[in-house]
Amino acid sequence: MNRPTEGHKGLRRLRSRLMPRLAVLFVLALLTGCGIAPDTPLADQCDTVPAGAERVVLRAELDVRLGAAVVGPPGAPVGVAVAHGASHTLCDWLPAMSALAERLNVRVIVPDRRGVGSSDGDGEVGELAGDLQRALTWLHEQGATRLAVLGSSYGGPIAVLAAQRATALPMCVAVAVSPLTGIEGGVAPLAENKPVASLWAVAETAFGASATALFEKVPQARQGRLKILPVDDHSLALLRGHPDAMTFVEDALRTC
């Protein structure tokens, strides 16, 4: 009988550390259900609405309406579409994305994932990358000439897959924060074998392996950067609590 190699043992240790956290993420994804109409005023959905934030309703596949919010100047040449994490809604991301939009002079759209927050649908996983592509198309239709995706945690592989498939759009970079490598049910960027314009990935220690896998295995037209921080904060908390993580994201967007 074959004995486990050190590589196999290391993989098992990694899985033992990740599985409890991933289980929590997926439970939260199920609990963060939809109950708000997509055209609900942002002030009725979110406790804090940054000045200038606007409600947008996107029409996606299967006639699903996605509630979204947009921040940043309408004439900005760079547009960024955000795929939030499993336990989040657009409300969690609006303050940080509003500040980022002001600093970089970019326009940012944050849709609620279908079946979550203000978006219709039943959370059909196979449609999630297409939904983010719809947000990118909206930015392009509004005048953005260069496009980026930013995905965090559960949203990480969604963002990368959307960037791989958005071949008709002027994509410049995909940014993954604390990303999973994929989501069972139809989000598998490692199996897509299509290039992104550039990939930048940043993660805490526990998600370093998945960030590294995405960075090393997804083809890139222009090599991006990988950064693993020796901290425990995850997803949006990583960006909020560690300025070097947010600076990394901003440096990625400045390549557009």
For 222-240, what is each residue's pLDDT tens digit? 999 999 999 999 999 999 9
Residue 101 lies in a domain: yes
Range of the domain at 191: 6-253
- pTM as predicted: 0.87
Query: Which CATH number fits the domain that encloses residue 20?
Result: 3.40.50.1820
The pLDDT of residue 8 is: 39
H or E element at residue 100? helix 90-104
- Least Cα distance to 111 among 95, 127, 134, 145 occurs for 134
Residue 226: inside a domain, yes or no? Answer: yes
- As for how many domains the chain has, the answer is 1
Condensed to tens digits (0 to 9), the pLDDT of residues 79-131 reads: 999 999 999 999 999 999 999 999 999 999 999 999 999 999 987 999 999 99
- Select the more confidently predicted residue: 30 or 119: 119
pLDDT greater than 70 at residue 10: no
**Residue 135: inside a domain, yes or no?**
yes
Question: Within 10 A of 125 (CB to CB), how many other CB atoms are there?
Answer: 17
Mean pLDDT of the chain: 90
Domain membership of residue 54 (yes or no) is: yes
pLDDT of residue 25: 40
The pLDDT of residue 35 is: 73
Over the stretch 136-168, which tens digit does the pLDDT of each residue have? 999 999 999 999 999 999 999 999 999 999 999
Classify 204 as helix, strand or coil.
strand
| Residue 1 pLDDT exceeds 70 | no
55 in any annotated domain: yes
pLDDT at 122: 87
Neighbour-count burial of 28, counting CB atoms closer than 10 A to its CB (0-12 exposed, 13-18 middle, 19+ buried) = middle
Residue 1 in domain: no
